[in-house]
Amino acid sequence: MGLALAGVLFLAGCSRRQDSAPVATNLVLITLDTVRADRLGSYGYAAAETPWLDRLANEGVRFAQASAPVPLTLPSHSSLLSGLLPPHHGLRNNGAGSFPDGRETLATLLAGQGWRTGAFVGAFVLDRRFGLNRGFQTYDDEIERAPGATVVLEAERPGRDVVDRAISWLGEGQGTSRPFFLWVHLYDAHAPYSPSYDGEIAEVDRQVGRVLQELERLGLSGKTVVAVAADHGEALGEHGELTHGLLLYEATLRVPLLIKAPGLVARVVETPVSLVDLGPTLAGLVGRTLPGTLDGRDLSAALREGKEPAPADVYAETQYPAVFGWSPLSSLRKRDLKYISSPEPELYDLTRDPKESVNLAGDQKTEGFAARLAAIEAGAIETQTLPADAETRSRLASLGYVGGGAAPAPRPASRKTGRNPVEVVDLFQRFERAHNRLGSGRPEDVEAALTELEALVAADPENPVFRGKLAQAWKESGEMDRAVQLYRQAAGDAPDDPEAWYNLATALQQSGDLSAAREALQKAMHLDPARPEAHNTLGIVHLAEGRPDAARQEFELAVRLDPRNAQALNNLGNVLRSLRRPAEAEDAYRKALAAAPRYAEPLNGLGTLEVERDRPAAALSYFEQALRLAPQYHEVRLNRAIAYDLAGETETAAAAYRDFLAATGKDPQFSEQRQAAQQLLARLSNRATGLAPDEGR
C-alpha cells in the first residue's frame, strides 16, 4: 500500500513545475490589431488614453522590445499561437492558405487536455477558413456576409460586439470546473481610422477593460494568466508607408506585449523578444509545453525568476510586396543591430538610431545576418493552397489588403527579385489612396481614382495589382470594354490563375457576351472546381440565356459548396420563384437573409412572392425593409407602388409611382420600368377622375 501511495504521489507531482511556482488554471489572450507600442501610455506616449492597458503593464510584465514576425494579421497570429515563424507554418500573407493540420497551437494543446476553449475574432482576415479555429470548441467569426451591389460588404465588427460575445461565453462556463482558454481579437485600431488612430486605441483599451472587469467580477483574476499583444504596428507615414505590410521598419514591427500571471513580479523586460515566443511562454505559465520543434522560446522560467531572458535572434519578414510583383523582405535583429535583406540591404543600430535613418550596411559586415536568414528560409514549407475566391478578395480589399495567392516559392534570403519596396513606397501610397477613393462611391472620387490608377499602371506596367484594380474600377464604372481588355491581358499573363479567368468571365457576363463568359467560367472552374462564385456566375449566364433549370443546378451547386453564400441563395430563390416553386423559393430567400441580414435583395424576393400569392398587403413590409437597407434599390420602389396599387390604396400607390419616377429620373437603365409606371399612374389618375383609360389620353 505504501508503494502504491508513493506512486500516486509521484504521478501527482509530475503535473507541477519543478520550481513549485503557482500555476494558473485559466488563460486569456487578447490580441490588438495594428497597435504600435509607442502609442500606449505605459510605453511613454503622454497623449494616450489607455488606463486599462497601462494598469496591466504596471501590475504585470511589460516587454519593452517585443517584435512581430510579420506586419500582417493572419501570419502574425499564426506565429504567436503556434511558436512557429511564417516560413515554418506556411502562412506568409493574409487570405492565402490555411494553417497546417499537423501542427499544434495553444488551442489544440489545451483542448486536448480537457480545457474549455473559445475564440472571438473581430475581422474576416481571421475567418475559420484560414485554419486557426482548430482546437477552439467555440470559434466566433460571425461577421455579416452581405454581397451585392445594393449593400456594403462587411469584413469586421466592433470590439464591443466581440467582447459582448466573449463575456457571455465566460459566464456560460461558470457551472464547470474545467479550466478555460479565451482568445479575444480586437480590430478597431485598423485603418481607416474613425475617430483618430489614438481614439480607436482608446476604444480598444475600453474593451480590454471590460474583459478584465469581468474576470474580477467572476473571481477569476487571481488564477488566470492574462496576456495582451498587438499583432503588428502601423507606420503612420514613417518611411513613406501609411499603414503596414510593405516594409519592415520598427513602426510596424515593434508591438506592446503585456503578461500578468500568478507568481509574476511586475517588471519591465528589456531583452528583445518575438511574438513567436508568446505561445510557448503562455503554455509554460499554465504548466504545459507546446510540442514539436519550435522557433519560439518558453520564457516562463526567466519571468518567474525575475531574470532577463537570454538574448536571441529576432526574425521578421513580409512577402506582401511579392503580390505586387516587388521583392519580398526579411530582417534579423541581433541585440541592437537590425539587418533588412532586400535588393539593397540595410543595417541599423536601434539604440543609437531608433528611427532607422542611417544605413550602416556599407560600413559593417552583414554576411552572418544574410546566412542566418538563408537558413531560416531554407526550411520553409508550402502551406495548404487555398485559392482566394471573390468573397475573400473583396473582404480583404474592404480591410485595405490585396488578396494574395499562395506564398512565392521559397528562395534564399540573399537573392531578392523584383523592385525594392523602399523605392516604390510612393506608388504603394498612391495605390492605397486610389483604393480608398474608389470605396467612397462619390463620382468625383471614382474619377480621380481612375486617373491615378491609369498613371500607376503606366509607372509599373508589370504590376498585376495595379492593373487588376484599374480593371475593377472600369467595370464598376460601367466601362466594360476597357475592363474586358485589361482582364484579358491578366488571363493571358497568368493562364493558370482561376481568379484571372473568373474576373474576365464576370466582366464578359456584365457586358452581355454570354458565350465568351461561359468559356472563361469553364476555364476558371477547370482550375478551381470548388469555387462557389464561378458556379453562381454560370447560373446567371444560364438564366440570361433562358435556361432556368440549368441555372438552378449551378446555384444549388454554389450553395452546396458554400451554404452561407447569400448571393447564390438569393439567385436560387429567384429561379425557383420563376419555376413556380414558391415554398422552396421562400426557403432560399430566408436562408440568404439569415446569412446576410442587411442584404436587401432577398427581402425584395419575399415581397414579390407575397404579391404573386395575391397578398400585396403582406408584401409591403418586405419592400419597406428593403428600401431602408438600400435606398437606391429602385426596382423595389416600383414593386412597392404596385403592391399598394393591388392592395387598393390608390393615393399611396400614386405617390409611390411618382417617387419611383422621381428617383430614376432619365436613367436609361429604367426606361421600360418608367414607361410602365407612367401608364399605371395614368390609370390611377383616370380612375380618380372617373375617366375611362382611353378618355384620359
Residue 418 φ/ψ region, left for φ over 0, alpha for ψ in the -120 to 50 degree band, beta for the rest:
left
Decide if pLDDT at 490 tops 60: yes
Flag whether 55 is in a domain: yes
425 DSSP assignment:
H
Flag whether 210 is in a domain: yes
Its domain, for residue 75, covers 9-310
Q: Is 590 exposed, middle or buried (0-12, 13-18, 19+ CB in 10 A)?
A: middle
- Of 310, 327, 348, the residue that ends a domain is 310
- Phi, psi angle pair for 550, to nearest 5°: -65, -40
Q: What is the CATH number of the domain that holds 666?
A: 1.25.40.10
Q: Which residues contact 265 (CB under 8 A, 6 or more apart)?
A: 306
Decide if pLDDT at 687 tops 80: no
Q: What is the CATH number of the domain that holds 211?
A: 3.40.720.10
d(CA 156, CA 152): 12
Flag whether 332 is in a domain: no
Decide if pLDDT at 455 tops 90: yes
pLDDT band of residue 255 (cuts 50, 70, 90) is: very high
pLDDT at 635: 93
Flag whether 328 is in a domain: no
Q: pTM higher than 0.85 for the full model?
A: no
Q: Tens digits of per-residue pLDDT, 367-385?
A: 999 999 999 999 998 765 5
Which helix H or strand E contains 457, and what residues bound it? helix 443-459
Flag whether 477 is in a domain: no
d(CA 405, CA 313): 29
Flag whether 305 is in a domain: yes
- Of 310, 340, 370, the residue that ends a domain is 310
Decide if pLDDT at 515 tops 80: yes
Decide if pLDDT at 227 tops 70: yes
Q: Tens digits of per-residue pLDDT, 178-226?
A: 999 999 999 999 988 888 999 999 999 999 999 999 999 999 999 999 9
CA of 214: how far to CAs of 122, 210, 260, in Å?
19, 6, 16
Stronger pLDDT, 464 or 104, i.e. the higher one: 104
Flag whether 518 is in a domain: no
Q: How many domains does the chain have?
A: 2
Output the DSSP codes for 497-534.
-HHHHHHHHHHHHHHT-HHHHHHHHHHHHHH-TT-HHH
Q: Tens digits of per-residue pLDDT, 625-681?
A: 999 999 989 999 999 999 999 999 999 999 999 999 999 988 888 889 989 989 998
pLDDT at 454: 96
- Of 310, 335, 354, the residue that ends a domain is 310
